[in-house]
Structures are given as C-alpha cells and as structure tokens.
Homo-oligomer: A and B are copies of this chain.
C-alpha cells in the first residue's frame, strides 16, 4: 500500500482512522516512501519506544510529515500546544489531568461535587455509561487505565522522557482482580457487568474516604518531568479544584512550565467523540496539505 500511495501523481497522505497496531507499525515505511501520516491511532506513538523513534527518524529523513493531534484529547489542542512549548525552548516541568472522557463521565457521575441526591452505585454508573455508548464495547478496556497510559506515554515522550512502553509505569486498574480473568467475549462482558455490583462496596469506600476529607476522587494521569515519574490512577481533589469541577465527559490537561510559572496553561473540553475527533484529524490534514504545497 505504501508503494502504491508513493506512486500517486501528487503527494500522498495516509489518514489512518483505525486503531490497528500493524498499520501503525508500518508508518516508518510510509514516511520513508514520502507518504505523510495523519492519524488518531495511538498505537504507533505509545507502543515500543523503538517504533516512536523510527517514526520520527523516518519523517526527519525525508519530506513526509506526521501529525497526530487526536491521539490525545481528540480535537483539543494538546499535542500542538506541547510541541510549541518544547520547540520554543520552554521547560515543561509537569503535565497532569483527566485524559479519558469515559472515566471523566464515570467519576463526575459517581462522585459529583455538591450533589443533593445520592449518586447511583459504581456498577450502575458503569452500566449507564455503557448503555449511552460512552465506554468501549468491553468497559474493561476503559477501566484498565491503558487508554490513559497510552496518552501519557505520548505526552511524556514529546516532553523528552524516554518511556519504554505504556506499561512501564504504575497504572491503577479499576477492574476487580476477581473479574480480570473473564474472557473478552460477549459472554465474558455480560458476566463482568453481572458481577460488578459485588464490588460496589469497595468503590463506595474510596468515595467516602475522600468525602471525609472534603474531597472528591478522580482518575487522573500525571507526568513529573524532573523526576521522570509517570503514573495513572485515583487521586483526591479539593471540591473547588478545576479537576473536581469537570462536567460530563470533559478532559482537562494542565501544563506546568518554567515560563508559565505556578499557574499552568490549561486546555479543557470534550476529549472524545466522533465529531471532535474528526475535527482534530481534519485540522491536521489541512496543516499537512498546507505544508506539502
């Protein structure tokens, strides 16, 4: 396919809207043949560090471009902002935020700030999110934290950390250990959802522990550039913090840098969904076309 595209009369761009790791593994081949790549597919940028390096080495060798804004925060200006900070010589010290629309929705619903009516148990909130199509077909693909870990891997690498793989740092999974072994089949998913209520007490305890301190619990990712620490998991936040106040399935990403000082540069908004992801991909494609002219 790379050879076919490279033989096109004009300049060719591969827009990869899959989440296929095999296609992502071939990006260096496309790029070396002069085919640019635009994609929301996280696999190429968040798997082995060797592939990451090969992708950007291939792009640097030739005149093909690679843009992947929608791999983090869909259409939100996250990748481009971080690249601008780095390219202009700012020193990024810390990045933290809520990077999953699904997990944002789950916790904003399960542990809302200043709720008057008691929220539903955890398993019911997960079931509701699944019915609304907010989760992957198998909710465990959201609850295992790997999607957030992949996004953090990408940002950490842009910030200069050589993260070996998306499982090279601590990731707190929200899948009860007892249910992790259920198969990923339709039957396994049904069993998972049926047994999840058994663990509502555990999540309620986590929520109540935070409430006792006047806080709420959220699922966040953070990168400390100086200490090279990346982690994904539950954290408590003050009720009046920006992270606690998120609505719906919004993402929030805070960039702490030398130039911005103690108040971070913040990007916030819907970080998932077809429309906004398509915006990110299309905006990237327009930029590639402008540069290839």
Chain B proximity of A282: nearest CB distance (Å): 4
Contact flag A267-B270 (CB < 8 Å), given A87-B283, A275-B259: no
Chain B proximity of A241: nearest CB distance (Å): 9
* Size bracket of the A interface: 35 or more
Is A212 interfacial (CB-CB < 8 Å)?
no
Is A264 interfacial (CB-CB < 8 Å)?
yes
A17-25, A215-223, A244-252: which lies at the interface: A244-252
A84→B283 CA distance, assembly (Å): 6
Interface of A is mostly: mixed
Q: Which residue of B lies closest to A261 (CB)?
A: B270
* Residues on the B chain within 8 Å of A278, using CB: 88
Chain B proximity of A89: nearest CB distance (Å): 8
The answer to whether A85 touches B279 (Cβ under 8 A) is yes
The answer to whether B250 touches A276 (Cβ under 8 A) is no
The answer to whether B269 touches A265 (Cβ under 8 A) is yes
The answer to whether A266 touches B267 (Cβ under 8 A) is yes
In A247-263, which residues have CB < 8 Å from any B CB? 247-248, 250, 255, 259-263
Chain B proximity of A126: nearest CB distance (Å): 21
Task: Point out residues on A near B: beta carbons under 8 Å.
Answer: 75-77, 80-81, 84-85, 87-90, 240, 242, 245, 247-248, 250, 255, 259-270, 275-276, 278-279, 282-283, 286, 290-291, 293
26 chain-A/chain-B pairs, Cβ below 8 angstroms: A77-B80, A77-B81, A80-B80, A84-B279, A85-B279, A88-B279, A240-B240, A240-B245, A242-B242, A242-B245, A247-B263, A248-B262, A248-B263, A250-B263, A255-B269, A259-B270, A259-B276, A261-B270, A263-B270, A264-B269, A266-B266, A266-B269, A267-B267, A268-B268, A291-B291, A291-B293
